[in-house]
Amino acid sequence: MDPYQRTPINQVPPFDGHNLVTTDAALCTALGAFAGESAPALINSLVDLGETAASSEARQHWHRANTNTPVFRATDRYGQRVDEVDFDPSWHWLMERGIGYGLGGTPWFDSDPHAHLRRAAGFIAWGQVEQGHMCPITMTYASIAALKNDDELFDNWAPGLASTHYDFGLRPRPAKSGLLAGMGMTEKQGGSDLRTNSSLAHDTGDGRTFELSGHKWFTSAPMNDVFLVLAQTASGMTCFVVPRVLDDGTLNPFTIVRLKDKLGNRSNASSEIEFHDTIGFRLGEEGRGIRTIIDMVSATRQDCVLGSSAIMRKALNEATWHAAHRSAFGDKLINQPAMMNVLADLAIESEAATLVGLRLAATADRPSDENEQALRRIGLALEKFWVCKRTPMMTAEALECLGGNGYIEESGMPLLYRESPVNSVWEGSGNVNALDVVRAISRSPETLAAWISEVGSVRGEDARLDAAAESVLTELADMSNAEAKARRITARMAAVLQGVQLLKHSSPAVADAFCASRLGRDWDGTFGSLPPTTDFSSIIERATPVTF
């Protein structure tokens, strides 16, 4: 026996070399449910993405991009203002593949009837590689939804944003093979309260071209090519398309004040910026800027749900892989009852997020279906609140499954844990989304009707879900104190919507465990406290990639 363990035993091999699409039962189940006969083709089209995402090379770029963080350069060596950000080569490796796999604006120009669903599945798989670079990919995808408000601006920008070519660097739009988009909404004094925004836009005379002055407090990926920005005109808050470089090659005034020093998401450059007579082109009706940009916000909220689902799945994979290979107290961890309860609990949390995320993404493929769009409107706010709020807790529990090994940076779990709160903050904190839910219900009755219709599709199949749904309607019968109970309503509605997807599309064991714990409350809120009658083995086997 070697007391120094120079040749370690009972250590876990790296979780590399698996396909994060084809071995993910929840993901494949969702594609089968929402794409029908097209599912095999969709899965096949994502095979290369899934293999690359699980490679040791991808894991190395994940760590490198977050170790060698972006560097801001205010000026060149002659003192000329450049306002540029330098990234590690690993960032460019990640971006080139994410855009190349069609995760940017590509679905808007794809004739496939399930283009947005395919992208969403790819987003969950590729999001398990690294989350920071998914931010500019998300904004690029989402910007096209808002650009549809103006034919000329759409024709100018959307084709480049839909490109599968990653073309980094500040150059005029016509000279680039691919474009990236960002957004500038919040300001120092107001944050999510956009009514307090003070940035101004002055008409240069043609009613379309304006000069902007002011600031933005959070603008991610400032090296992107174009930004959707809110500023005040004489008619009120208006949305503008602001290029970094004008078509004639002139740098548009775009002052980067500093990069944010963040908890996580460190590979991504988030900045404070200032406008000084910066050219912006009006998008949508003057004075209706928030309404114009809300389509972009809806799409970014979708990706918050998908991105959090990716973090959950990554955490689950790491925990299950460790438990399958690590022995303690005479047996593999994965065979020990207490650990089985934890892993099964993590698994149903992950699958619920995946299924509901892809259900809502599928609504983007049916823009003319009023019921689908009403479900999208309320469902994204519900699940943005719930899934993103659950992710940090779930990730912390998965980290603990690795014990001290999970607390060490090289495991990747601390990096994943620091990343886990970002989607709950981005595009509206929990309160913002919960309030959005109760306001949508009061102002747009069709949104509640869409939720009721979705829930009604499984009525009678599980008494616990039926009772939870009834409790929501009881709460909504008295809206006199709606804001104070907004989170309570939102959480319950979101969990019910997840339960619907599991009952319809998952295994009986997963659906039963979810309904017992999240809806029937046979659970104390701590992961690993599922009822002892739960079919742990079946749930864990379903959640474990077959190559384990």
The residue among 270, 289, 308 that closes a domain is: 289
Q: 213 and 305: one domain?
A: no
- In the chain, count H helices and then E strands: 19, 11
* Mean pLDDT confidence for 419-426: 96
Same domain flag for 542 and 509: yes
Domain presence at residue 26? no
Cβ contacts of 483 within 8 Å, gap of 6 or more: 435, 438
Domain contains 435: yes
Average model confidence (pLDDT) across the chain: 96
For residue 419, CA distances in Å to 314, 391, 396, 414, 436 come to 12, 10, 11, 9, 25
Q: Do 284 and 405 belong together in one domain? A: no
Same-domain status, 410 and 285 = no
* Residues 339 and 249 reside in one and the same domain: no
Question: Looking at this protein, which amino acid is placed at residue 340?
Answer: M
233 plus 314 within the same structural domain:
no
Q: What is the pLDDT of residues 461-471, one digit of tens each?
A: 999 999 999 99
Domain membership of residue 389 (yes or no) is yes
Banded model confidence at residue 190, pLDDT cuts 50, 70, 90? confident
% of the chain with per-residue pLDDT over 70: 99
Does a structural domain hold residue 271? yes
What is the mean pLDDT of the segment spanning 349-370?
98
Does residue 246 sit in the same domain as residue 373?
A: no
**Residue located via tokens 């409107």:** 377
The answer on pLDDT for 296 being more than 90 is yes
pLDDT beyond 80 at 54:
yes
Q: Looking at the predicted structure, is the pLDDT value of residue 66 above 90?
A: yes
As a whole number, mean pLDDT of residues 244-252 equals: 97
Range among 378-387, 421-430, 520-529 rated most confident:
378-387
279 and 301 housed in the same domain: no
The yes-or-no verdict on residue 496 having pLDDT over 80 is yes
* pLDDT, position 250: 97
pLDDT value at 442 more than 70: yes
CATH of the domain at 494: 1.20.140.10
Q: Is residue 39 part of a domain?
A: no
Q: 5: alpha, beta or left, given left = phi > 0 and alpha = psi -120 to 50?
A: left
Does the residue 58 lie in any domain?
no
Mean pLDDT of 386-394: 98
pLDDT at residue 388 tops 90: yes
Q: pLDDT band for 509, please (50, 70, 90 cuts).
A: very high
Q: Residue 197 maps to which CATH number? A: 2.40.110.20
401 and 493 in a single domain? The answer is yes
Q: Residue 260 belongs to what domain range?
A: 170-289
Residue 103 lies in a domain: no
**Res 275 pLDDT > 80:** yes
Compute the average pLDDT of residues 378-393: 98
Among residues 289, 322, 353, the one where a domain terminates is: 289
- Residue 33 forms part of a structural domain: no
Structurally, the chain folds into a number of domains equal to: 2
Averaged over 503-514, what is the pLDDT? 98
Pair (318, 234) in one structural domain: no
Report pLDDT digits (tens) over 521-534: 888 889 999 999 99
Which of 289, 308, 338 marks a domain boundary? 289
Q: Are 82 and 75 in contact (CB under 8 A)?
A: yes
Whether 303 and 268 map to the same domain: the answer is no
Q: Does residue 546 surpass a pLDDT of 80?
A: no
The answer on pLDDT for 547 being more than 60 is no
| Coil, helix or strand at residue 255 | strand
In a shared domain, residues 270 and 325: no
Six-digit token string for 499:
């339960």
Encode pLDDT of 12-35 as tens digits.
Answer: 988 888 899 999 999 999 999 999
pLDDT value of residue 548: 38
Strands 236-243 and 226-233, by their bridges, are: antiparallel
pTM of the model: 0.97
- The share of the chain scoring above pLDDT 90, in percent, equals 92
- Asked if pLDDT for residue 7 goes beyond 70, the answer is yes
Token code pair at residue 411: 């495991």
- What's the pLDDT score for residue 1? 59
CA 423, 425, 427, 431 torsion-angle sign = positive
